[in-house]
Every structure is written in structure tokens, then in C-alpha cells.
């Protein structure tokens, strides 16, 4: 029996519970794939493609780590001054009084206290005092203002091409390797096709390539003996950047990554995972967990939106924490 049997069995149970038609696992340890598993089909209807190595899942919020790394690269390259630059420097059309002293650090750690409609903002709470939803589209706009380039351009040049990744795409049209979203067991399968600039919820990635993305971070930007991404940019992305003003009980983040820290409440990372573990989770159930202590990356893919937001009595936080605990136990043993 594989040491990953319990993790695989649990993933299959979750796939059935959340009405996902497809699921995948890919685990890298010490730079080698040590476990890979695929189940189901791209949707529930007749003629659906079987899930496999080339299947690309919409990773939803997992995509924000790509936006975060693009920001880190722009800072390293000197095109953005620092995380403590005021947001107003990069948003000239917004109300400067409302933006106030809000910084890029607040934006990338989800603590701005602002609600945006386009480029216009409304103050909801003081910056750095509470956690809020992600705003990757605002980060992407800042990056474009500062560099003249899109997130997708930066990631393609600095990551995808050097790593020879061909199954990581912001899709504007369909193709047979894309796994459909399942919004309900009897609903028609859908694809989310939007802009290819890198800010929208249409990043499709294979399980292997998401694992390689995590492994690039684990190796601090090294790939095949070359420094592909500056170590300083990776470190900026995956270490705690949350402002110290945030109350101690709230989770700490890098550049959108959740980072395991002396235990806080409300974290997506299970309490048994080692300190410095970092993780990201998307609405469809796709996740990437990087555990530096074990030199490991654990990727899970599913394609269901049926239970998103607590619908149909499914607790996504309890699920991802339990998944992480099973992964940690398997890697520890």
C-alpha cells in the first residue's frame, strides 16, 4: 500500500461529496514526483475526456500567487519601489484622500480596508486592521501602470518559458484539455474564458505544472541548476509580509500565499503543518501546499463550484486542513 493511500482515498471521497467530475493529485518531494493520481472525466456528460496528465483545471484563486510573484519580480527589478509604496502612486485616477496611506503591502496581504469599483475606492476600515477578499485585478493594474506589461507577459517570460511549461494558460477560448466547471450535479458544464492578461479567473493549469510552480518557490527560484527567478523575489512572495498592525489572531500572508505562523485563528493551513508551510486554495477545490521542512509540494485539483461559499453544507476550510494533515502525515512517515 502506498504511503499516500489515505490522502488519495480522501480526495476521491471529497470528489464524490462535492460533485466534482474530475480530480487529480501531484506530489513532489526532493524535486521528484513521488505520487500522481487522476480520477473521473472533464464533465459528467457523454463523450467527456478522461482526466489525465494533460488535463488543465481552472485553479481560480490559486492564480493570485502568479499575480503576487509578478509584483515581487517588478519590485526586484526596480520598476516598483517597495511594498511600502503608497497605492496612490500607481492609481492616479482614484480618490487620493480615500486611498490615504494604504500601501502595496496592504494590497498584497489583503488588508487595504478598501472596497473597489473599477479604480474608485470606498474606505470600509482602517488599513492593516482586518482581513478582506483578494484584489488581484487591482494588483495587476498597479503592475501594468508601473511596468507597462501584463501579469501574463511577466510570468510567461520569467517562469513559463524557462521552465518549459505549456499547460499553464489564461484561456480566451476552449480546447479539449480544459476541465469544465461543475456548478451542480445536473447542470451543464461550463468554461470560464476571459482576458489573457493575467488578472481574470481563467487560469487553467495541469496538476503537474501547478506542482512545478510550487517547487520553483520551494527551490527559491532555482530550476535545473539555474537561478530562473531572483531568490529575493521568491522570498518576498512566500514569507510573511502582513503589516504588524493586523491583530495577532488573524492569519499572516506573503504575497497572497497563506503562511504558517505561530498559530493564528481562521487559517486555511492545518495546525499540524510545520511552521513556514505556505498554501493557496481556489474556489473549485484546487490547492497548492508547499512544505519546506519536508522539501515537498502537494497539489490537489477538483472542478466543483457546487459547494463554494459553504453551499450544500460543505466546509472547505475543514476540508483543506484535513487534507493538509493527511499529506503531512504521509510525508513525515
* pLDDT tens digit sequence for 57-92: 999 999 999 999 999 999 999 999 999 999 999 999
SS3 20: coil
Does residue 118 carry a pLDDT above 90? Answer: no
pLDDT for residue 62:
98
Average pLDDT over residues 99-122: 96
Residue 261 CA to residue 279 CA, distance in Å, equals 12
Residue 92, C-beta contacts closer than 8 angstroms, at least 6 positions apart: none
Task: Please list the residues that pair with 24 across neighbouring strands.
Answer: 38, 301
Residue 48 CA to residue 55 CA, distance in Å, equals 12
Does residue 38 carry a pLDDT above 90? Answer: yes
CATH domain 5-332 topology: Beta-lactamase (3.40.710)
pLDDT for residue 324:
99
Residue 25 CA to residue 181 CA, distance in Å, equals 18
Does residue 133 carry a pLDDT above 70? Answer: yes
pLDDT tens-digit series, residues 185-217: 999 999 999 999 999 999 999 999 999 999 999
Average pLDDT over residues 283-293: 98
pLDDT for residue 312:
83
Residue 156, C-beta contacts closer than 8 angstroms, at least 6 positions apart: none
Q: pTM above the 0.95 mark?
A: yes
pLDDT for residue 119:
82
Cα dihedral 74, 79, 84, 85 sign: negative
pLDDT for residue 180:
98
pLDDT for residue 98:
97
pLDDT tens-digit series, residues 271-282: 999 999 999 999
pLDDT for residue 245:
97
Report the chain's mean pLDDT, rounded to a whole number.
97
pLDDT for residue 161:
99
User: Domain ranges in the chain?
Assistant: 5-332
pLDDT tens-digit series, residues 313-327: 899 999 999 999 999
Average pLDDT over residues 240-265: 93
Residue 17 CA to residue 304 CA, distance in Å, equals 10
SS (H, E, C) the chain: CCCCHHHHHHHHHHHHHCCCCEEEEEEEECCEEEEEEEEEECCCCCCCCECCCCCEEECHHHHHHHHHHHHHHHHHCCCCCCCCCEHHHCCCCCCHHHHCCCEHHHHHCCCCCEEEECCEEEECCCCCCCCCCCCHHHHHHHHHHHHCCCHHHHHHHHHHCCCCCCCEEECCCCCCCECCEECCCCCCCECCCCCCCCCCCCEEEEHHHHHHHHHHHHCCCEECCEECCCHHHHHHHHCCCCCCCCCCCCCEECCCCEECCCCCCCCCCCCCCCCCCEEEECCCCCEEEEEHHHCEEEEEEECECCCHHHHHHCCHHHHHHHHHHHHHHHHHC
> Is residue 254 a contact partner of residue 239, using CB atoms and an 8 Å limit?
yes
Does residue 263 carry a pLDDT above 70? Answer: no
Amino acid at each position: 500500500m502506498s504511503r499516500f493511500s489515505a490522502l488519495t482515498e480522501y480526495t476521491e471521497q471529497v470528489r464524490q461529496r462535492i460533485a466534482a467530475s474530475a480530480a487529480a493529485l501531484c506530489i513532489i518531494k526532493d524535486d521528484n514526483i513521488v505520487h500522481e493520481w487522476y480520477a473521473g472525466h472533464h464533465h459528467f456528460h457523454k463523450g467527456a475526456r478522461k482526466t489525465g496528465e494533460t488535463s488543465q483545471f481552472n485553479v481560480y484563486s490559486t492564480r493570485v500567487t502568479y499575480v503576487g510573484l509578478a509584483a515581487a519580480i517588478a519590485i526586484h527589478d526596480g520598476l516598483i519601489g517597495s511594498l511600502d509604496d503608497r497605492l496612490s502612486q500607481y492609481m492616479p485616477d482614484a480618490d487620493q484622500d480615500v486611498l490615504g496611506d494604504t500601501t502595496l503591502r496592504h494590497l498584497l496581504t489583503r488588508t487595504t480596508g478598501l472596497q473597489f469599483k473599477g479604480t474608485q475606492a470606498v474606505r470600509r476600515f482602517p488599513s492593516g486592521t482586518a482581513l478582506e477578499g483578494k484584489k488581484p485585478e487591482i494588483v495587476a493594474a498597479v503592475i501594468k501602470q508601473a511596468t507597462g506589461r501584463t501579469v501574463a507577459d511577466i510570468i510567461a517570460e520569467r517562469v513559463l518559458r524557462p521552465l518549459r511549461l505549456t499547460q499553464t494558460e489564461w484561456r480566451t477560448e476552449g480546447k479539449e484539455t480544459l476541465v469544465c466547471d461543475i456548478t451542480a450535479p445536473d447542470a451543464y458544464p461550463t468554461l470560464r474564458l476571459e482576458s489573457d492578461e493575467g488578472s481574470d479567473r481563467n487560469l487553467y493549469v495541469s496538476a503537474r505544472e501547478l506542482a512545478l510552480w510550487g517547487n520553483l518557490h520551494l527551490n527559491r527560484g532555482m530550476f535545473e541548476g539555474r537561478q530562473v527567478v531572483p531568490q529575493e523575489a521568491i522570498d518576498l512572495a512566500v514569507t510573511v509580509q502582513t503589516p504588524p498592525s493586523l491583530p495577532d489572531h488573524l492569519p499572516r500572508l506573503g504575497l497572497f500565499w497563506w503562511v504558517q505562523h505561530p498559530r493564528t485563528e481562521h487559517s486555511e493551513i492545518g495546525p499540524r503543518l510545520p511552521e513556514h508551510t505556505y498554501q493557496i486554495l481556489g474556489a473549485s477545490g484546487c490547492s497548492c501546499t508547499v512544505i519546506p521542512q519536508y522539501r515537498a509540494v502537494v497539489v490537489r485539483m477538483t472542478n466543483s463550484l457546487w459547494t463554494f461559499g459553504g453551499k450544500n453544507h460543505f466546509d472547505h476550510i475543514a476540508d483543506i486542513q484535513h487534507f493538509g494533515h493527511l499529506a503531512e502525515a504521509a510525508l513525515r512517515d
